[in-house]
Amino acid sequence: MTRIAYTPLRETEIIALAKAARKKYQGLSIDEVADSENIILIREPDAYSKKAGYACALQSVKPKRIPSISRPGEFVLSFTEKEITCHDCIVINPLYGIPEREIFWHEFYHLWYSPSRQMKLISFISIQQMVLWTCRRSAGQICLLHIC
């Protein structure tokens, strides 16, 4: 029986994405690409790991800075409101045996263009909108949401 190689349904889209990335980042190292795209690039050597790398979004929570009423132009920290920021991150295991560049571009795809990431983002946004709607319904409650 002849075996047929599996080609994803989005093959043309993936190929177009790869060509665009190759053209945009031609001649740059993965460190330079990470800097230009505001990605935190971590090299974590682990000889016993079963993963070559992974992509994730790290959340940072800090008190929100609000304008001071008594001192215009200055800010004070509000400990009741939080400022949430998301940082995209790619972790590479240099001891895995695959070139770092290959791992980086694989994880770069998953970080930005993976269908599973898009579905997670859509569900995250819909959950946030539901929370916002719930907060608006509550009398006298102020709800500030930051979508990363």
More confident residue, 84 or 99: 99
Q: How many CB atoms lie within 10 A of CB 111?
A: 19
Domain ranges of the chain: 11-113, 115-148
Q: How far is the C-alpha of 37 from the C-alpha of 53, rounded, in Å?
A: 18
What would the pLDDT profile of 58-67 be if each residue is shown by its tens digit? Answer: 888 889 999 9
What would the pLDDT profile of 11-36 be if each residue is shown by its tens digit? Answer: 787 778 778 888 999 999 999 999 99
What does 4-49 look like in DSSP terms, one character per residue? -----TTHHHHHHHHHHHHHHTTT--HHHHHHHTTEEEEE---TT-
More confident residue, 123 or 63: 63
Query: The whole model's pTM is what?
Result: 0.61
